[in-house]
Chains A and B, each alone.
Chain A
Amino acid sequence: MNKLLDSFSNFTYRNKNFIFLSFLIVPLLWLGIVYLGSLLIFLGHSFFHLDGFTGQIVYEFSFKTLTELFSSPANIDILIRTVGLATCVTIGSAIIGFPIAYYMAKFTSPKVKIFLFIAIMLPLWSSYLVRVYSWKLILAKEGIINWFFEKLNLEWLLDTILSTPIIGGPSLSISYIGMFLVFTYIWLPFMILPIQASLERVPNSLINASHDLGANKRQTFYKVILPLALPGIIAGSIFTFSLTLGDYIIPYIIGTSKFFIGQAVYTHQGTAGNIPLAAAFSLVPIMVMVVYIYFAKRMGAFNAL
């Protein structure tokens, strides 16, 4: 046995790549075949199209489906709606998340920092579905938000918000505002942590140098701290943006009848069996994120991850 091991060890000494390859082969095969294969086949369907009469997929290369995607006003609406919401969610979570990240990075002792880190990750560790569900409770007509507005005699304010065109709706739990709140809530930790990491890397000596050179606190914040936190903000935005683009559960539960990309994909591949169109829709968030990540990388976001 020992002799066998010895010769094996000798062999790997002379052929260093052997171990490396033998490790890589299994996961690579799995991912390559099971995952990548399925993915490419599915996405490849966007170059086929659905025959209007037979309801069958025609396996011939064509741009019909892609043109259909971008020419139908209803579809364009879906795309704009989703990208618009993703943008708002990104901005919203950046604004809400920044104070927490800043406080945590610069004004806490290591012990408190760990406590805060756990506090921020806690919601993330509790089931996604449960967290979405919690907002159904909160946004319900008889729920806590309503109660809150009632107690402060501000019902009129709530009604005004709800009657605002586009973002309003019959109730908070069926409106864009509601969706905005839920999305922002769900992805918030993803935004906070990269910002905190970036800010942590800003040495205090820079801030001292800025003061030493005559800048007051506000100027230091806008000229030194914020620009250095920007890669972190952008890194966080990659998550909030892409996760919102692809989500179909939250629009399903909190949304109106107006579709988002995720729901469009879901419905088209469902009973209609229009896999080509579903695939075409799926391409959009992927392409958007590819471009987004390219620019994010150039702005240094990857250093903040």
Chain B
Amino acid sequence: MLKALNLKNINKSYGLIKALDNIDFTVNDGEFFSLLGPSGSGKTTCLKVIAGFEAPDNGNVSIFEEDVTNIPPFKRHVNTVFQDYALFPHMNVRQNVGYSLKVQKMKGPSMNRKIDDILEIVNLTGYDLRKPSELSGGQRQRVALARSLINKPKILLLDEPLGALDLKLREKMQVELKNIQRQFKITFIYVTHDQQEALSMSDRIAVFNNGKIEQIDTPANIYSKPINSFVAEFIGTTSIFNKDSAMKLFNIDKAFSVRPENIIIIETEKDLAAIDKKQYFITNGTIVDCQFQGSHLKISYAIDNNCKLSVFKSLEGNINQKYDINTKHTIAWKRIDITTLNE
């Protein structure tokens, strides 16, 4: 498989702040690759280095096996969709979308045809004479997308493009983006702080933290086998036991995390008798919070040694089920369902 992008030993500092610390990864052709992390973790800086808006202090950037580290952005064959869309306010949609063609000195009916085609793909036919100020957030987002896609780039960089949209629109756009990516066979490099978004859309995810990459893997692996407590806590909901508590309560010599959907609540003696104690961890807890979340309850338990546990209990049609605070329960989970962590 062709390597679309390769970053080797990339370092970048702003004064005393190290924004990128030895960043190293490869993206395959046609992949949907996400850079995921909290604000300030370096993911946007990384994107800028790939696009060429920032030059790294050292290290190499290669695009399709060609070293582009010293090549300015307007010569690189990547396009960017910016977080605030960066639409040219003094141009209408047509002029915005056709900008890169104009720069290449294209004119006339062939240029117009290309613009019309791409507008149809993003569902903006008929809006071509409007100015950005006359469009809604979602429409502006699509203009930004069209503007970048019209070049048929091999790599598209997207900097938190859906951040400003409301939930329903965001979910719709996620589907549309995936469709476009598959249809055009473009490599997507997608920056986001929303782990849900990354999990649902990506082929692989790189988790950023303080300028370093903590883990690169498929969404499933990142979710079920997080490498350390940062990744475990950043992705989804989880309960983490540090080394101390793990030792004291369960005789495990490493910190570990367990996902809430893997924990069962044992409410009767009969249930307790039914499980194989060798395969399960069992402990007692007191409910401190119980939240209704639509399809399930999120219950927080306080257990020994100042530890807290989150449990998802599926409601299974029993929509009014709930538990009172201070109820005591026995809770259990399978031994194989824990993930040990390098703290």
A and B associate: yes
On A, residues with C-beta under 8 Å from B are 9-10, 13-14
Alpha-carbon separation in the docked complex, A14 to B70 (Å): 8
Min distance, Cβ B20 to any Cβ of chain A, angstroms: 18
Give the distance in Å from the alpha carbon of A13 to the alpha carbon of B55 in the complex.
9
* Number of interchain pairs (Cβ within 8 Å): 9
Q: Does B40 contact A (CB under 8 A)?
A: no
Q: Is the CB of B74 within 8 A of A9?
A: yes
CB distance from A140 to the nearest CB of B (A): 52
User: Nearest CB to that of B52 among chain A residues?
Assistant: A13
Proximity string of chain B (48-68) to chain A, C-beta cutoff 8 Å, 1 when within and 0 when not: 000010010000000000000
Cα-based distance from A10 to B73 in the complex (angstroms): 10
B72 within 8 A of A: yes
Q: Enumerate chain B residues within 8 angstroms of A14, measured Cβ to Cβ.
A: 55, 70
Residues of B within 8 Å of A10, CB to CB, are 72
Give, as a whole number of angstroms, the nearest-CB distance from A135 to chain B. 44
**Other A-B pairs beyond A9-B74, A13-B72, 7, CB < 8 Å:** A9-B72, A10-B72, A13-B52, A13-B55, A13-B73, A14-B55, A14-B70
Q: With A and B bound together, what is the CA distance between A10 and B72 in angstroms?
A: 6
Nearest-neighbor residue (CB-CB) of B74 within chain A = A9
Within 8 A of A (CB), among B144-180: none
Main secondary structure of the interface of A (DSSP, over half): helix
A-B contact pairs, 9 of them (CB 8 A): A9-B72, A9-B74, A10-B72, A13-B52, A13-B55, A13-B72, A13-B73, A14-B55, A14-B70
Q: Which residues of B contact A (CB under 8 A)?
A: 52, 55, 70, 72-74
Which of B52, B72, B73, B74 neighbours the largest number of chain A CB atoms within 10 Å of its CB? B72
When C-beta atoms are compared, the residue in chain B nearest to A6 turns out to be: B75
In the bound complex, residues from chain B placing their C-beta under 8 Å from that of A13 are 52, 55, 72-73
Inter-chain contacts of B74 with A (CB < 8 A): 9
Question: Nearest-CB distance from A7 to chain B (Å)?
Answer: 11
Q: Which residue of A lies closest to B73 (CB)?
A: A13
Distance to closest chain A CB from B234 (angstroms) = 34
Closest to B55 in A: A14
Residues of A within 8 A of B73 (CB): 13
Nearest CB of chain A from residue B14's CB, rounded to whole Å? 13
- Give A10's nearest chain B residue, CB to CB: B72
The 5 closest A-B pairs by CB, nearest first: A13-B72, A10-B72, A9-B72, A9-B74, A14-B70
Measured CA separation A119–B55 after assembly (Å): 51
Complex: A13 Cα to B74 Cα, angstroms: 10
Closest chain A CB from B58 CB (angstroms): 15
Across the interface, name the chain A residue whose C-beta is closest to B53.
A13
Complex Cα–Cα for A13 and B52 (A): 9
A204 to chain B, nearest CB (A): 26
Give chain B nearest CB distance to A5 CB in angstroms: 11
Cβ distance A33 to chain B, nearest Cβ, rounded Å: 33
Residues of B within 8 A of A9 (CB): 72, 74
Q: How far is it, in angstroms, between the C-alpha of A9 and the C-alpha of B70 when the chains are bound?
A: 12
CB-defined contacts of B52 to chain A, threshold 8 Å? 13
User: What is the distance, in angstroms, from B53's C-beta to the closest C-beta of chain A?
Assistant: 10
A10 to B55, CA, bound (A): 13
- Alpha-carbon separation in the docked complex, A14 to B56 (Å): 11
Task: Kindly provide the distance from the CB of B318 to the nearest chain A CB, expressed in whole angstroms.
Answer: 42
Closest Cβ–Cβ distance, residue B212 to chain A (whole Å)? 26
Give the Cβ gap from A13 to chain B, nearest Cβ, in Å.
Answer: 4
Residue of A nearest to B70 (CB): A14
In the assembled complex, the CB of B114 is this many whole angstroms from the nearest CB of chain A, namely: 23
**Complex Cα gap A95–B74 (Å):** 58
Chain B proximity of A189: nearest CB distance (Å): 30
Expressed in whole angstroms, the minimum distance between the Cβ of A9 and any Cβ of chain B is: 6
> Taking the nearest CB of chain B, how far is it from the CB of A172, in angstroms?
52
Pick the most buried of A9, A13, A14: most chain B CB atoms within 10 A of its CB.
Answer: A13
- Chain B residue at smallest Cβ distance from A11: B72
Chain A min CB distance to B308 (Å): 36
Q: How far is the CA of A73 from the CA of B52 in the complex (A)?
A: 69
| A73 vs chain B, min Cβ distance (A) | 57
- Complex alpha-carbon distance, A10 and B74, angstroms: 10
The distance in angstroms between the C-alpha atoms of A3 and B74, with both chains bound, is 14
Q: Which residues of A contact B72 (CB under 8 A)?
A: 9-10, 13
In whole Å, how far is A8's beta carbon from the nearest beta carbon of chain B? 11
Nearest CB in chain A: distance from B67 CB, A: 15
Task: Tell me the bound Cα distance from A6 to B164 in angstroms.
Answer: 36
By a CB distance below 8 angstroms, the chain A residues around B70 are 14
Question: Nearest A residue to B72 by beta-carbon distance?
Answer: A13
A9 to B76, CA, bound (A): 13
C-alpha spacing A13/B72, complex, angstroms: 6
* A10–B52 alpha-carbon span in the complex (Å): 12
Question: Bound state CA distance, A10 and B69, in angstroms?
Answer: 12
Nearest neighbor of A12 in chain B, beta-carbon distance: B72
Q: How far is the CA of A150 from the CA of B145 in the complex (A)?
A: 75
* Minimal beta-carbon separation of A11 from chain B (angstroms): 10
Q: How far is the CA of A10 from the CA of B70 in the complex (A)?
A: 9
